[in-house]
Amino acid sequence: MSPTETADRSLTPLSPAVFVTGKGGVGKTTVAAGLAIAAVQSGQGAVFVEFGDGDSGERAFGKLPKNLKHVVLDPQQAILTAAAPLFGSATLAKLALGNFAMRPLIQSAPAIREIAVLEMVRRVVEEHPRRRVVIDMPATGHSVAWLRVAQQGRDLTKRGPIHDLCARVHRELIHPERSSVVVVTLPQPLVMNETIKLCGAIEREVGLRVDRLVVNHVPAMPPPDALSDALRVADELGVVATAAGELGALLTKRAATALAVDKALSQAAGERTATLTRLPLSPADPTARQVARWLTERGAA
């Protein structure tokens, strides 16, 4: 099986909200930005959501294209904004949450920060019904905890406004018909193993479907006869033959790794009707626009 990509246009379309996740360092942000740009280019318009300081979005886009909104969610601010309607007003929310006992409590209880951020994401999706909302998630492990928190909050509180808020986030956002999950990975055995575990955890513990498995930085295959040529030369005697043998060994090792990784990822994708999309390795870190083009060409955008 050759890992060259064949465009398959009959892929499951992505849902309005797209959570992009994966192990750190796999190029998650660039893929997320690429999915947003691809939606803009197809005329749909997009919102790119990131948690934190806004650094990664700025790095990925440079100048923001028209019809693309960049939303940065600050957890502290999200808590106040999400809580305002619960308490009746922002002032009352500030009073209750700023209470000397509640303030440190909220800072120490992780679930509160996470549910507030998810509620803000839900509102962004609601406010942009025609746009694709791409969410650049925290790295593996953390992302499963984030996505699970709505359901946990709902079950824990049983009733009341917090219960309703969690239930709404779960119903309107963390739902297979509302959200797609895109998992980004690399063609390396260890990264791949983590990715396959992550896919399982998202489905089992969160109840969302993984719609795309994007393998980033896939190196080009060497010319098909390079290996046989090298092995033929290696059959002779002398320094050249020894050198050719070493080249042959390197090519064999690389081919074996590539094949094993591709097979495992294809199987992981097949088990969950996710599409496996391979993006090529390029000399410099690819730009979000380049990634958007690749994703569109492969029908994965």
Write out the binding residues for another protein, residues 281-300 only, by CB under 8 A: 283-285
Which residue among 84, 162, 167, 201 contacts another protein (CB under 8 A)? 162
Which residue among 230, 265, 295, 300 contacts another protein (CB under 8 A)? 230
- Beta strand 68-73 pairing with 275-280: unpaired
Which residue among 6, 130, 237, 239 contacts another protein (CB under 8 A)? 239
Q: Of 11 and 167, which CB lies nearer to another protein in the complex structure?
A: 167
Which residue among 82, 244, 265, 295 contacts another protein (CB under 8 A)? 244
Residue count, binding to another protein (CB under 8 A): 75
Nearest distance from C-beta of residue 89 to another protein, angstroms: 11
Which residue among 7, 90, 156, 259 contacts another protein (CB under 8 A)? 156
Nearest distance from C-beta of residue 12 to another protein, angstroms: 28
Nearest distance from C-beta of residue 95 to another protein, angstroms: 7
Please list every residue from 110 through 149 that binds another protein, using CB under 8 A.
Answer: 110-111, 138-142, 145
Binding span for another protein by CB under 8 A among 4-12, 41-49, 171-179, 184-192: 184-192
Secondary structure of the chain as H, E, C letters: CCCCCCCCCCCCCCCCEEEEEECCCCCHHHHHHHHHHHHHHCCCCEEEEEECCCHHHHHHHCCCCCCEEEEEECHHHHHHHHHHHHHCCHHHHHHHHCCCCHHHHHHHCHHHHHHHHHHHHHHHHHHCCCCEEEEECCCCCHHHHHHHHHHHHHHHHCCCHHHHHHHHHHHHCCCCCCEEEEEEECCCHHHHHHHHHHHHHHHHHHCCCEEEEEEEEECCCCCCCHHHHHHHHHCCCCHHHHHHHHHHHHHHHHHHHHHHHHHHHHHHHHHCCCEEEEEECCCCCCCHHHHHHHHHHCCCC
Nearest distance from C-beta of residue 148 to another protein, angstroms: 8
Residue with tokens 């998202």, as numbered in its chain: 202
Q: Confirm or reject binding of residue 263 to another protein (CB under 8 A).
A: no
Q: Confirm or reject binding of residue 86 to another protein (CB under 8 A).
A: yes
Please list every residue from 187 through 206 that binds another protein, using CB under 8 A.
Answer: 189-191, 193-194
**Phi, psi for 133 (deg, rounded to 5):** -105, 115
CA–centroid distance for 49 within its chain:
12
Nearest distance from C-beta of residue 211 to another protein, angstroms: 23
Which residue among 49, 186, 215, 291 contacts another protein (CB under 8 A)? 186
Count of CB atoms situated within 10 Å of the CB of 243: 13
Q: Confirm or reject binding of residue 90 to another protein (CB under 8 A).
A: no
Which residue among 74, 172, 203, 229 contacts another protein (CB under 8 A)? 229
Which residue among 160, 177, 204, 237 contacts another protein (CB under 8 A)? 160
